[in-house]
Each structure stands twice: as C-alpha cells, then as structure tokens.
Structure 1
Amino acid sequence: MNAAVKGTPKEPGSGDARKDRWSAHRAARRTEFVRAALRVLEQQGPDVTMDAVAAEAGVTKPVLYRYFADKTALVAALGEYGTEMLFDRLMPAIAADLPALSRVRGAVGAYFEVVGENPNLYWLIARHTAGEVPLESDPFQRNKELIADALTALFGDYLRHYGLDSGGAEPWAHGITGLVQSTAEWWLHRRSMSRVHVVEYTTRLIYAALAGVLPERVLDEELELGSSRFAQSVQDSHRANHAHNPPEGTRPAPSLKLVSGE
C-alpha cells in the first residue's frame, strides 16, 4: 500500500477538554489499527481476519473490538481509506485543464492505477460488503454515486452551455462509471494485458461513445466551468466523502478550468 494514512480530519472542540482528549486518542488508535489492517492486506491477501490485524497492531482482539465492533466496521474504515485515495487521484484528473481525450484517459488511468496498486483492498471491500451492508453504507455504491454525480454535472454543464438537451447526462454518467468498474474487475481477475493497454482501450471506447452523442463543437471548444454545477458537484463529493470520517485526511481542491476536445 503506497498511500499513507494521515489521520482523521480535525473536529471542532466540544468545550470539554477531557472529552476532546479522549476523542483524539480514540481517532489516533483507530488510525493505527487501519494501518495495521493495510499491512496485513499486503502480506496475506484479502482474507483478513481480526486476529491477524490485532496481532499486527500488537494488541489483543478484545482491544481491537473496543474500536471496531466487528469486521464489517473495520472493512468500512478501510473502505473510507480507499475512497479517499481514489478521489485524491480521480477528481483532479476529471477536472484537469486538458483536452477531452486526455482528460478521459487521465480519469480512467487514475481509477485503474488505484485498483491495480491495491487489489487486495479492492477485493476485501467488494467481497465483504456485497449483500452484507445497507446500500447507503456500501463504499462501492457510494463511490459509484459520487463519481457518476460528478460526471452528470460535467456533461450537463456542457450540454446546457450549448443549448442542448441535458437529459442524457445522468444515464451516460452512470453507464460510463459502470463500464470502468466492470472492466477494472475483469482486468484484476485476468491480468491478460498491461494497465497501459487496458486504460487505452477503455479510453477509446468512452471517447468514441461521447463523440457519437455529443456535437463536435462540444468536444472541441474550450469551456470555463469554475462556477458550474460540475464545480459544485466536486465540492459536494468532497464533503460527502468526509462526512463518513475517512482516515486519509483532507483532499486538496482540484483546479476546475476544463478544456474539451483534442
């Protein structure tokens, strides 16, 4: 695991110094256990046990259970870590000051980079949360919705700017999000081609699809979207992600000047 766990975002003080110290201590301990779980993932694969995490952290299992009620709670914390890492790379790629094809390639590449570097984390979350947690608590579902929301806003901004029907923005965004996730899972299973090649093939398909439904001028002209619905969507995604208290820290706000076309 290449990314470092930076600790939870600082919360406002409660006015009770003892309570604040305990909250800070508890947050720090949870971060230590998440780090330990990440090390176990690297060493042993996605079949992580609470016993292994406790041993790696140098504590007994009852101590670990004081901070995570069960394995589902620990996996949820790991899911927040994965979400933070993904959005650190994905949102700046989507919002980059680049032509459309380069921006699509950057976003697809960022997704494949994260899952390719952290396959054990990906499969742990995928297998443990499937059918076992409510949809609103499922990090996979939440990530898909946040990404699709950002893409919906981006497509909608372009379409409305040119006076075009924006009704397709949402289904297109969800279709592209599902395409990338499904292709990434196939690639993780098969590894029959390099990451560079699968990213390029996926990028070409997405760009060809966009070129088929969007007028050429929408893809070829520069469009400033700094105060757009897309910009607001990125900010909303940032807040929604941190509302779940991820252990990775705070993402920098990306540049929001978007250039379409190549």
Structure 2
Amino acid sequence: MDEGVNHRDGRTERWRQHRLTRRKEFVDAAFRALDRHGPEVAMADIAREAGVAKPRLYRHFTDKADLFVAVAEHASELVWERLRPALSEPAPVRDRVRQCVQAYFAAVAEHPNVFRMVGDRRFLAANRPDPVAVGNTAMAGLIAAVFDQYLRAHDARSTGTLPWAHGLVGSVEAATRWWLVDGTLDRETIVEHVSVLVWGAMEAVLSSAGVLVDPEQPLDLDLDLDALPRL
C-alpha cells in the first residue's frame, strides 16, 4: 500500500516538474516574441514562437495578463542574476556603483521590449500582485542594507535608509523608462549619467548622517544575497 502511495507521489512530482518546465519554456518564448514584435505582442505570436497552438498556452496561464506577470517575474530574476557578480566582488565604492548600474542596463538593453512592457504595467489586473513593485522592494532592501553597513561601520544610525533606498530605486526606474522611450542616448552614456545620480545620492544621504565616503576605498560588502527577497 505504501509503495502505491509513493508511486503516485512520484508521478505527481514528475507532472508538477513537467508543468514548471513547460511554463518556463512559454515564458522564454514570450521573451523572444516581445523582442520581435514589441510590447503589443499577441498571444498568437507567443504561441507561434513556442511552436504550439494558442490553446496550449491557456493550459498553463489563465490569460495574457497571467503570462505577462510571469514574464515580469523572469525579467526581475534576470536583473538579479546580472547584479550578483557586481555585488559579490570587492571594489572601490564608486566603481561598485558603476558596475551595478552597468549590469542592470545590460539586462535592459538585451530585452528592451520586455522592459518596456514591464515598465508600462498595463498587463496588471486589479486583483493581482505587482511583480515590479515586489522586485523594487527587494532592490530597495538591498540598497538599505548597504547604507546600514556603512552607518554601522562609522558608529552612526539613521531611520532614513529605507526611504533613501526606495527613492534611489524609483529614480533609476524613471530614468530607465525615459531611456527606453526617448532612445537618443546610447547605453554607455545612460550608464554614466545614472551612475552619477546613484553615487551622488549615496554620498549625499550618508553625509547627512555624518558619514564621509572615500570613493576610492575598496568596499567588501557583507551581504547574504541568497537571503534577500525574491519574486
């Protein structure tokens, strides 16, 4: 009897893994279709990219909005993957800022139509969580942790770390949306401008707490990246 139960459990797990794999394949196809057709891509375009009939998509996603939520979640995961190396290797603090900004915009530039869709958020339904807001909150938590480490290292404290962090994330998001729409600046130029913005904001807010930052000082962050919030 127990063996029969275990056998059914094994089949259930294999079916669950199969569905997860298929969902990921369809999300990857949606990325390719968005790259090709833009944010107004139709479900038929995505199904064609995936090599399936459109009804097959609806076996895994309730509607286009459900699929686009999964696309937004995957876009956030892509950003985290690109940021991890820049966050993990010690470097002077100003260099670290630029490396993070460069890694972020590399992800955006690889799939600009995906990030246009994500930034627009028209796919969201009123009764569904906003994956962009969840990702922004996770990013703000990371930046606040950096601020907290700097303050503690200088025997300082402030209640401003989270407001500062959310302000920075919002500023970068707004600059990204402008860049994707305007299209007049190349990637290296927007990276330089946003790096100045982020570094200047960090320097100013830490200075307001009595902490002066040497931009050439190596920064070895003690951050548990695996413990940070994820989508």
TM-score (norm 1): 0.76
- 1:162 paired to 2:154: yes
Q: Deviations over 1:120-153 (max 9, x none)?
A: 1112223345652557x21211111111000001
Distance change (3 Å), C-alpha of 1:38 and 1:196: same
Ranges of 4+ aligned residues in structure 1 off by more than 6 Å: none
Cα shift at 1:165: 2.4
Q: Aligned ranges for residues 173-252 of structure 1 at < 5 Å?
A: 173-213=165-205, 214=207, 215-217=211-213, 221-222=217-218, 224-226=220-222, 231-232=223-224, 234-237=225-228, 240-241=229-230, 244=231
Unaligned ranges ≥5, structure 2: 1-5
- 1:171 paired to 2:163: yes
- Aligned partners of 1:26 and 1:51: how far apart in 2? 20
Distance change (3 Å), C-alpha of 1:122 and 1:165: same
* Equivalenced residues, count: 222
Distance change (3 Å), C-alpha of 1:40 and 1:130: closer
Kindly indicate whether structure 1 or structure 2 has the higher relative contact order, using CA contacts under 8 Å at least 6 residues apart: 1
Q: Deviations over 1:32-65 (max 9, x none)?
A: 2122222211221111221222233232222211
Out of 77, 80, 84, the position equivalent to 1:91 is 84
Q: CA RMSD in A?
A: 2.4
Distance change (3 Å), C-alpha of 1:149 and 1:201: same
> Which protein has the bigger helix share?
2
Contact preservation (8 Å) 1:46, 1:121: yes
Structure exhibiting the larger radius of gyration computed from Cα positions: 2
Q: Aligned ranges for residues 28-43 of structure 1 at < 5 Å?
A: 28-43=21-36
Distance change (3 Å), C-alpha of 1:140 and 1:129: farther
Distance change (3 Å), C-alpha of 1:222 and 1:43: closer
Contact preservation (8 Å) 1:108, 1:180: no
Distance change (3 Å), C-alpha of 1:174 and 1:39: same
Q: Deviations over 1:159-187 (max 9, x none)?
A: 02211122221111111111111111111
Contact preservation (8 Å) 1:75, 1:128: no
Distance change (3 Å), C-alpha of 1:126 and 1:205: closer
Identity of aligned residues (%): 36
- 1:119 paired to 2:104: no
Cα shift at 1:80: 1.9
- Aligned partners of 1:15 and 1:154: how far apart in 2? 47
Distance change (3 Å), C-alpha of 1:52 and 1:132: same
The equivalent of 1:152 in structure 2 is 144
Q: Deviations over 1:52-97 (max 9, x none)?
A: 2223323222221111111111111111211111001123323431
Distance change (3 Å), C-alpha of 1:92 and 1:183: same
Matched residue of 1:68: which SS? coil
Matched residue of 1:25: which SS? helix
Q: Which amino acid aligns with 1:216?
A: L
The equivalent of 1:141 in structure 2 is 133
Distance change (3 Å), C-alpha of 1:168 and 1:96: farther
- Aligned partners of 1:212 and 1:129: how far apart in 2? 35
